[in-house]
Structure 1
């Protein structure tokens, strides 16, 4: 029985140490902003309601996975929205330029008009461009 325990421990130790790669240099992907091409918003909001905001964005290739949205607050009712993609490294990518739809939930907390700024890429000078939409609150 003691010998069987010793063999079992040796196998577990071998599998544990053998499965680790010392050449692993970390993550095999990185994050990048994706270009938002269109948004679907209501004409107005009602206070304390939650809305599903539909967004169309550009998936440039099959190495790009849609991770979600980064929504940051500017002023009290200004929201900057960036679609986030995880880009797989070290892979031959096939260009798609595919428009895909995703959404996020938004809760209206203030009575003032909301300004949404959706990241839509960069201009020829590398400056960020935005689709800006103002939504009044009833």
Structure 2
């Protein structure tokens, strides 16, 4: 029993000595909404079906990475889709626009036509612009 306690104490001492130090409270990334170029939808949805939607968006530089989609539903069959990315803070980012695609799965719960709105940037006045797609549902 003494050997087990001694081994545990040694292991704890080694872990405490070699653990990482996180002294810096500085954040080295930030989240951003990426601009959508297009989305690929079927002609119609099947009620209660699950559909994969391919979304093409712009990656503004090589320090920006795709994280996922945020989907909100302000109304029963309206979906606002935001493409979320992270920007790593670095002095060595190459500013070259690149189009990237990713997919998300969508379950069709309602029989009414769905309206999807994708953030596509801002206009000259600084207002958000959206690409809109309407998809009817077949029963």
State TM-score, norm by structure 2.
Answer: 0.87
Structure 1 residue 14, shift from structure 2 partner: 2.1
Structure 1 residue 89, shift from structure 2 partner: 1.4
Task: Report SS of the residue matched to 2:15.
Answer: helix
What aligned pairs does 1:1-138 form with structure 2 within 5 A after superposition? 10-16=13-19, 19-22=20-23, 24-138=24-138
RMSD: 1.9
State TM-score, norm by structure 1.
Answer: 0.88
CA deviations over 1:11-63 (Å, ceiling 9, x no partner): 433223xx3142x1143211000000011001111100000000100001010
For structure 1, the residue ranges without an aligned partner over 5 or more in a row are none
Please give the alpha-carbon distance, in whole angstroms, between the structure 2 residues aligned to 1:90 and 1:105: 33
For structure 2, the residue ranges without an aligned partner over 5 or more in a row are none
Structure 1 residue 10, shift from structure 2 partner: 4.4
Structure 1 residue 91, shift from structure 2 partner: 3.8
Please give the alpha-carbon distance, in whole angstroms, between the structure 1 residues aligned to 2:133 and 2:12: 63
Please give the alpha-carbon distance, in whole angstroms, between the structure 1 residues aligned to 2:32 and 2:106: 23
Please give the alpha-carbon distance, in whole angstroms, between the structure 2 residues aligned to 1:134 and 1:7: 64
Please give the alpha-carbon distance, in whole angstroms, between the structure 2 residues aligned to 1:8 and 1:106: 48
Count of aligned positions: 134
